[in-house]
Amino acid sequence: MKYQKHTLKNGLRIVLSPMLDTETATVIVMAGTGSRYESEKENGLAHFLEHMFFKGTKKRPNTLDISRELDAVGAEYNAYTSKDHTAYYAKVDARHLDIALDVVSDLFLNAKLEREEIERERGTILQEINMYEDMPQRRVGEHFETLLYGKHALGRDIAGPKKNIQSFKREDFVRYLRRGYTADNVVVGVAGKIHPSEVKKMIEKHFARMRTGKRPSFEKIKEQQGKPGIFLRHKKTDQTHIVLGARGYDMFHQDRFALAVLATILGGGMSSRLFTEVRERRGLAYSVHTSVDTYHDAGYLATQCGVEHKNLEKTIAVILSEYKKTTAELVESEELKKAKEYIKGHFALGMEGSDDIAGYLVTQEVLRHKITLPQEYRQMIDRVTAQDVLRVAQDIFINKKLNMAIIGPHANGKQLVKSLSL
């Protein structure tokens, strides 16, 4: 992977990655702001604002004008809001990159934020929230982070509560926009069949006059936990949905690579320990996987699955048993090698398209202000030893760091807390 990085006079960063063996090009514009940059009363504003960017500009007065122009060239386009960044992108036949860049930059820089459209979009957002409520497999992960981070911004849902959505005014959007969408806090990335010098000039033309301002800050999290934690949501469901895990490390921690290997050993792929024990040997779940999530100042490892209601405690016991085994014995060399190759293989599969490359580079630059190339990432994974995995497991798999979120028709939370012990 090759790339160029440039910084305009106003502070805006540009990342360009020419790719020889593709006929596509992707433009992505990402702001280093998301729901963790909101106050409690603002919760949901970042996500709502993302929706409003597609509601029209002076050049393209309404949603249809934006979508019609991108659809006319067969583009794939969308946007998303996370807790620490928000992105807008379009992937096109490389011949139409100028159109993609013009449209994405226009909606990013020139959204009208009309009051009538805000009123109309409230209903859409409220239905999106209702949709997620009917998706316990997704919702349980949000409850898990609420359990971990409580009233801190990291513990709030990105979409926000309905009362907030119903109260936002145009002035709220404008204030948030001016605070977070500044040149110094934005990265524009383009990858694919491109001529970097030409694309750089195109980006300068669109973004040279972008508003400037101080980069926004966020309240850091102080992780304090003295005993196992549980979040139980009583709900009539066909399955009980579980996320069970432990507090881990932030995105800069030196042991994040060892933690990734540990998670893969436990629940990465169909030959992992938990997939074998939970699904293949006991038939407790259809899907079970373990993953790691990180933020600037926090992180965790967690296992998720859906099980028959009566098998909840049995499943918890199996997961904890596998966690405990990793704290007591060194992983064998063959299994360690398999986990590393699994991680590197999946990483390679995720770097095939221009959208993959553009998204990876820009996200790295926005969140870390430093780009780790794929070969560097692979080297860090290769350096993980069996002793590293054991040490990390012993560090995170202790009772006071355990947490579990559950959605299902269960009422006895006290009994479930007792089961949460290594």
Residues 232-257 have pLDDT tens digits of 999 999 999 999 999 999 999 999 99
pLDDT band at 31 (very low <50, low <70, confident <90, very high): very high
Q: What is the mean pLDDT of residues 208-235?
A: 94
pLDDT band at 412 (very low <50, low <70, confident <90, very high): confident
Each residue's pLDDT tens digit, 85-124: 999 999 999 999 999 999 999 999 999 999 999 999 999 9
Q: What is the mean pLDDT of residues 201-230?
A: 94
203 and 233 share a domain? no
Q: Is the pLDDT of residue 415 over 90?
A: no
Report yes or no on 269 lying in a domain.
yes
Cα Dmax for the chain = 64
Q: How many domains does the chain have?
A: 2
Report yes or no on 221 lying in a domain.
no
* Catalytic site residue from 50, 121, 142, 277: 50
Report yes or no on 100 lying in a domain.
yes
Q: What is the mean pLDDT of residues 30-50?
A: 98
50 is catalytic: yes
pTM: 0.95
Report yes or no on 387 lying in a domain.
yes
Q: Is the pLDDT of residue 127 over 90?
A: yes
**pLDDT value, residue 65:** 97
Q: What is the mean pLDDT of residues 12-27?
A: 97
Q: What is the mean pLDDT of residues 265-279?
A: 98
**Final residue in a domain of this structure, among 176, 207, 238:** 207
Report yes or no on 151 lying in a domain.
yes
Distance CA 57, CA 114 (A): 10
Q: What is the mean pLDDT of residues 143-160?
A: 97
Report the first-to-last Cα separation within the chain, whole angstroms.
Answer: 43
106 and 198 share a domain? yes
Cβ neighbours of residue 31 closer than 8 Å, sequence gap 6 or more: 85, 86, 87, 180, 181, 185, 186, 366
* 68: CATH: 3.30.830.10
352 and 267 share a domain? yes
Domain that holds residue 26: 4-207
Report yes or no on 184 lying in a domain.
yes
pLDDT over 90, % of the chain: 97
Q: Is the pLDDT of residue 396 over 90?
A: yes
Q: What is the mean pLDDT of residues 142-165?
A: 98
Cβ neighbours of residue 368 closer than 8 Å, sequence gap 6 or more: 251, 252
Cβ neighbours of residue 127 closer than 8 Å, sequence gap 6 or more: none
Of 214 and 383, more confident: 383
- Determine contact, residues 316/404, Cβ cutoff 8 Å: yes
Please report how many Cα atoms fall inside a 13 Å half-sphere around the Cα of residue 204, on the Cβ side.
10
- Determine contact, residues 258/392, Cβ cutoff 8 Å: yes
125 and 261 share a domain? no
- What are the tokens at 306? 């859906």
The neighbouring-strand residues paired with 304 are 243, 289
CA distances from 321 to 212, 251, 324, 375 (A): 53, 27, 5, 35
State the CB neighbour count (10 A cutoff) for residue 45. Answer: 24
Report yes or no on 222 lying in a domain.
no
Distance CA 185, CA 192 (A): 24
Q: Interior CA angle at 49 toward 148 and 109, to 5°?
A: 130
198 and 246 share a domain? no
Distance CA 158, CA 85 (A): 11
Q: What is the mean pLDDT of residues 56-65?
A: 97
Report yes or no on 219 lying in a domain.
no
Structural Rg of the chain based on CA atoms:
23
Distance CA 50, CA 55 (A): 10
152 and 281 share a domain? no
Each residue's pLDDT tens digit, 342-352: 999 999 999 99
